[in-house]
Amino acid sequence: MSAPLEPMELRLKLAYPGFSLEVDLTLPGRGVTAIFGPSGCGKTTLLRCVAGLNRAPVGRVAVAGQVWQDETPTSETPAIFVQPHKRAVGYVFQDARLFDHLDVRGNLLYGMKRAGVSVKGSEFDQIVAWLGLTSVLARRPQHLSGGERQRVALARALLTRPQCLLMDEPLSALDAQRKNEILPYLERLRDHVNLPVLYVSHATDEVARLADHLVLMDAGRVTACGPLTELMSRLDLPLTHADDAGAVLEASVTEHDAADGLSQLTLAGEHLTGPGREPHTLWVGLSPHPVGHRVRARVLARDVSIALTRFKGSSILNILPATIEAMRPDGVGTVMLSLRLGHYGVLDTRRDAPSLLARLTKRSCDQLQLQPGRSVFAQVKGVALMA
């Protein structure tokens, strides 16, 4: 893998009747940054500004060390605005936008020709095989499934050798089966492609599975920006108000128990270990991944209960020591807790220490006299393993 690209700079201001966009972002130069928010909040407009399809009167766009736009009212240097067709952008839309009169190979070659790039045969074959398209190169788009069409659109974008990849809700038109078909390919993209990906979505499950970094938007403004695992557990953000609110944990596979159909995960982070301290582990359904493979696990707030002591006679396999970091009313009769995992009686204040969410009844909180700073045990009833 080559060295990471320079950070992306996105500083944009523009206004339409009834809507304005104002963002100031510095984003990682590699990996998936999810742009998340309600419909009409400016997600697609932001992507179109990066691509040059919308021109912000005041703005700066820099990708991989190249300035595509630099226009400020007080600038003493000439304004810079690189036209859309000269920007090395791969754009994947909600619909694949393939040419029906061309087969898959023809669609891919046309995209390369339009972008003015020359790709070696080995590189072409590698991307086609990587996205599982070798067997469908001779098919016309009308004979492809929705998932196959989106994979062709993704291959076409990658074959233009982009400096950044823009994906505008690429799975929103797919049913659950087709979405599950393409998600592993997007995970591979996240893990192996050395370029920044801006991924627009309003689906929490997609964001939790794919993103490394998260930008939350509302009404054309950025409300929060940071690592996915941190923002998913912040009680001051709207993600924790949803019915499917939950935490994302980075882990690695450390053991398989085929007889019981289980695999053990060890949570990432050296701060979880120490003299006489065992690393935090979770048991999940049997994973197809080998020992040592890095995975993500998602734990929903509704699948976490709280105990003041560790029960030995419980059917729950996953019981982790934690400290209550914050509490927030969460509707009629319920409370949302943010828990920082650590060792019992020790609050780990590091930002990268894993967190969990727990949604409890107010009565339970009152009976247990729960409050921020209290040491507890988090009983995890369900864990969704994400590849």
- What's the whole-number mean pLDDT along residues 355-375? 96
- What's the whole-number mean pLDDT along residues 340-352? 68
| Percent of the chain at pLDDT exceeding 70 | 93
Question: Are residues 211 and 82 located together in one domain of the fold?
Answer: yes
Number of domains making up the chain: 2
Q: How does pLDDT run across 98-147, given as a tens digit for each residue?
A: 999 999 999 999 888 877 777 777 889 989 998 999 999 999 999 999 99
- What's the whole-number mean pLDDT along residues 259-284? 76
Domain-located, residue 315: yes
From 241, 269, 301, give the residue that closes a domain: 241
Question: Tell me, what CATH number does 290's domain have?
Answer: 2.40.50.100
Domain-located, residue 1: no
Beta-bridge partners for 361: 334
Domain-located, residue 372: yes
pLDDT, residue 1, reads: 41
What confidence category does residue 344 fall into, taking pLDDT thresholds of 50, 70 and 90? low
Q: How does pLDDT run across 150-181, given as a tens digit for each residue?
A: 999 999 999 999 999 999 999 988 888 888 88
| Percent of the chain at pLDDT exceeding 90 | 69
- Residue 192: C-alpha distances to residues 157, 199, 211 (Å): 15, 16, 14
Residue 326 has pLDDT above 60, yes or no: yes
Cβ-in-10-Å burial (0-12, 13-18, 19+) of 257 comes to exposed
Higher pLDDT, 278 or 370: 370
pLDDT, residue 275, reads: 43
Task: Mark 306-341 as b/e (b = at least 16 C-beta within 10 Å).
Answer: beeeeeeeeeebbbbbbbbbbbeebeeebbbbbbbb
pLDDT, residue 366, reads: 97
Q: How does pLDDT run across 207-258, given as a tens digit for each residue?
A: 999 999 999 999 999 999 999 999 999 999 999 998 999 999 999 999 999 9
Q: How does pLDDT run across 2-45, given as a tens digit for each residue?
A: 455 689 999 999 999 999 999 999 999 999 999 999 999 999 99
Domain-located, residue 13: yes
Question: Are residues 159 and 270 located together in one domain of the fold?
Answer: no
Question: Are residues 185 and 273 located together in one domain of the fold?
Answer: no
Listed range (50-64, 181-195, 212-226, 335-349) with the worst mean pLDDT: 335-349
pLDDT, residue 303, reads: 95
Question: Are residues 198 and 254 located together in one domain of the fold?
Answer: no
What confidence category does residue 192 fall into, taking pLDDT thresholds of 50, 70 and 90? confident
Domain-located, residue 121: yes
H/E/C letters for each residue in the chain? CCCCCCCEEEEEEEEECCEEEEEEEEECCCEEEEEECCCCCCHHHHHHHHHCCCCCCEEEEEECCEEEEEECCCCCCCCEECCHHHCCEEEECCCCCCCCCCCHHHHHHHHHHHHCCCCCHHHHHHHHHHCCCHHHCCCCHHHCCHHHHHHHHHHHHHCCCCCEEEEECCCCCCCHHHHHHHHHHHHHHHHHCCCEEEEEECCHHHHHHHCCEEEEEECCEEEEEEEHHHHCCCCCCHHHHCCCCEEEEEEEEEEEECCCCEEEEEECCHHHCECCECCCEEEEECCCCCCCCEEEEEEEHHHEEEECCCCCCCCCCEEEEEEEEEEEECCCCEEEEEEEECCCCCCCCCCCCCEEEEEEEHHHHHHHCCCCCCEEEEEECCCEEEC
Q: How high does pLDDT run on average in the chain?
A: 89
Question: Are residues 235 and 254 located together in one domain of the fold?
Answer: no
- Residues 33 and 196: beta-carbon distance below 8 Å: yes
Domain of residue 359: give its range: 246-386
> The whole model's pTM is what?
0.89
Question: Are residues 253 and 234 located together in one domain of the fold?
Answer: no
196 is written with which tokens? 């920044």
What confidence category does residue 352 fall into, taking pLDDT thresholds of 50, 70 and 90? low
From 241, 263, 291, give the residue that closes a domain: 241
Residue 264 has pLDDT above 70, yes or no: yes
Listed range (225-239, 336-350, 369-383) with the worst mean pLDDT: 336-350
* 232/246 Cα distance (integer angstroms): 7
Question: Tell me, what CATH number does 190's domain have?
Answer: 3.40.50.300
371 is written with which tokens? 């409050």
pLDDT, residue 274, reads: 45
* 102/97 Cα distance (integer angstroms): 12
Q: State how beta strands 164-168 and 196-201 pair.
A: parallel
55 is written with which tokens? 């021109």
pLDDT, residue 258, reads: 94
Question: Are residues 267 and 309 located together in one domain of the fold?
Answer: yes
Question: Are residues 214 and 294 located together in one domain of the fold?
Answer: no
* Backbone angles phi and psi of 291, in degrees to 5: -60, 135
Question: Are residues 94 and 237 located together in one domain of the fold?
Answer: yes
Question: Are residues 90 and 155 located together in one domain of the fold?
Answer: yes
Question: Are residues 111 and 236 located together in one domain of the fold?
Answer: yes
* 10/60 Cα distance (integer angstroms): 6
pLDDT, residue 74, reads: 67
Domain-located, residue 3: no
From 241, 256, 272, give the residue that closes a domain: 241
Question: Are residues 139 and 218 located together in one domain of the fold?
Answer: yes
